[in-house]
Amino acid sequence: MATKVAVVGIGMTENKSRWDLSLPGLYRLAYQRALEDCGLKSEDIDAVAFGHSPEYFEGVNHPEKWCGEAVGALNKPLFRVHTGGTVGGSVAIAAYYLVASGKFEVVLAISGNKLNETSSAQIGLSTVYDPIMGRQFAAGAPSAVAVQASKYYSQYGYNEDHGLMVAVKNRNNALKNPYAQLRIPDYTLEGARNTPMLCHPLRLADMCPTSDAACAMIFAAEHRVEAITDNPAWVLSAVAVNEGINYVDRDWSKPIGLRKAAELAYERAGIKDPRRELDVVEVYDAFSVQELIWYEGLKLCDWGEGGRLMESGATRMEGDIPVNPSGGTLCANSIGASAMFRKAEAALQVMGRAGEHQIPGVRRALGHGWGGGIQFHTIMIFGKDKP
């Protein structure tokens, strides 16, 4: 049987454009904050799962070698995971499995990026496309998500407003999150509608910002948890599922990989009715409309009902299934840390330590991430009660 594992410490940096810290410095800050959060020292950490997204962003290959010392990995086991946008989730999942294996007791997961080191993150993201078939028409991530958005809107009779409603909800939530980058007061649907059209049907309001950030989570084995904290977030399940990239029959508005990941995650966490049994959800909404699509993939509603779930207000902070009380990826996106922020926010909600954007009485929370050609999905579910 797998060892039971809990999150015992979390460290985040603010999401912003920052020139006061190098890449190792940024990781160091998240690492130190995670240690301080749970009162552990460097020597208490047995191993490190290190995450960082495309090397292109900072122009440094194998950044884990450069940044290892900064995160206390001196003569310590460390390996790097890299799955694109999901990386923060993939790294948290790796750290979880290292502890669950019974071979490590306390493992650090850390992931980040300094997107402002590159002239354009979108040029880097265009190099995700296959050099033989794809790069000729690559225009970063928005071009792919625009296809996804158009398909979604037209298939179910929704329109641009449905994406913008997500933007308004999440931007207002972000006002309560000191780590978010976009904290814009009085953000209204009318204002969102008037932002420039960037890649039809996506407007500026539909898009995430470019952030520099790192996030760290410390996972501990059951027999070590009690001595570290009386307020852990237990890992109920940790799943990453991959779907393909280019298929003539691929429906970009119907994320079957996410659906499979969700089904596995719910099964392992003993969840039958996610809408009722989950108290809060953090999804990787790099683009507003994606949040609606992920509602469906996560079975918070049926296929095609995402827009209506948004309209119902259920996913607002005060709704019955709040989604992205932190403001989500739409208000802070460093890519490397974003999927871990989703997991860390979910864990903080379970611990009751999310601050101003805390949802009352959370017992179970889900954190999601997507990456690659909108094809990788990671899910972690945390619980207040030991599984």
What string marks each residue from 90 to 119 as x (binds other proteins by CB under 8 A) or -?
A: x--xx--xx-xxxxx---------------
Binding of residue 34 to other proteins (CB under 8 A)? no
Residue labelled with tokens 């990995």: 73
Binding of residue 370 to other proteins (CB under 8 A)? no
Residue 236's H or E segment, with its range, is strand 233-242
Residue 136, token pair as written in the block: 């000729």
Binding of residue 134 to other proteins (CB under 8 A)? yes
Binder of other proteins out of 158, 234, 294, 376 (CB under 8 A): 376
Residue 6's H or E segment, with its range, is strand 5-12
* Distance (Å) of CA 175 to CA 64, 163, 172, 193: 33, 19, 5, 20
Residue 105, token pair as written in the block: 């007791």
- Cβ neighbours around 27 below 10 Å, total: 33
- Select from 201-209, 223-231, 233-241, 293-301 the region that touches other proteins (CB under 8 A): 233-241
Cβ-proximal residues to 165 (8 Å cutoff; 6+ apart), any chain: 189, 310, 311
State which residue, 51 or 307, has the beta carbon closest to other proteins. 51
CB of 96 to other proteins, least distance (A): 9
Binding of residue 220 to other proteins (CB under 8 A)? no
Binder of other proteins out of 216, 241, 330, 340 (CB under 8 A): 241
First to last CA, the chain: 13
| Closest-CA residue to 113 (of 72, 67, 171) | 67
CA distance 188 to 305: 23
Binder of other proteins out of 8, 12, 81, 283 (CB under 8 A): 81
CA distance 169 to 175: 10
Residue labelled with tokens 């996560």: 298
CB of 307 to other proteins, least distance (A): 26
Spatial contact of 342 and 369, defined as CB atoms under 8 Å apart? yes
Binding of residue 154 to other proteins (CB under 8 A)? no
Binding of residue 270 to other proteins (CB under 8 A)? no
> CB-based burial of residue 39 (10 Å sphere; 0-12 exposed, 13-18 middle, 19+ buried)?
exposed
What string marks each residue from 37 to 76 as x (binds other proteins by CB under 8 A) or -?
A: ----------------xxxx-xxxxx-xxx-xx---xxxx
* Distance (Å) of CA 246 to CA 56, 122, 322: 23, 20, 33
Binding of residue 290 to other proteins (CB under 8 A)? no
State which residue, 65 or 276, has the beta carbon closest to other proteins. 65
Binder of other proteins out of 11, 84, 297, 327 (CB under 8 A): 84
Binding of residue 83 to other proteins (CB under 8 A)? yes
Binding of residue 267 to other proteins (CB under 8 A)? no
Binder of other proteins out of 245, 311, 316, 359 (CB under 8 A): 245
Residue 127 falls in which region: left (phi positive, over 0), alpha (psi -120 to 50) or beta: alpha
CB of 226 to other proteins, least distance (A): 21
CA distance 51 to 86: 10
Give the SS3 label for residue 51.
Answer: strand
CB of 74 to other proteins, least distance (A): 7
Binder of other proteins out of 42, 143, 155, 242 (CB under 8 A): 242
CB of 308 to other proteins, least distance (A): 28
Binding of residue 373 to other proteins (CB under 8 A)? yes
Cβ-proximal residues to 316 (8 Å cutoff; 6+ apart), any chain: 169, 322
Binding of residue 381 to other proteins (CB under 8 A)? no
* Distance (Å) of CA 129 to CA 24, 135, 209, 387: 28, 5, 22, 41
Give the SS3 label for residue 8.
Answer: strand
Question: With contacts defined by CB under 8 A, how many residues of the chain interact with other proteins?
Answer: 67
Binder of other proteins out of 36, 130, 226, 356 (CB under 8 A): 130
CB of 77 to other proteins, least distance (A): 5
Binder of other proteins out of 16, 21, 22, 156 (CB under 8 A): 22
Which positions lie near other proteins, rule CB under 8 A?
1-3, 22, 53-56, 58-62, 64-66, 68-69, 73-84, 90, 93-94, 97-98, 100-104, 124-125, 127-132, 134, 239-246, 256-257, 260, 264, 268, 371-373, 375-376
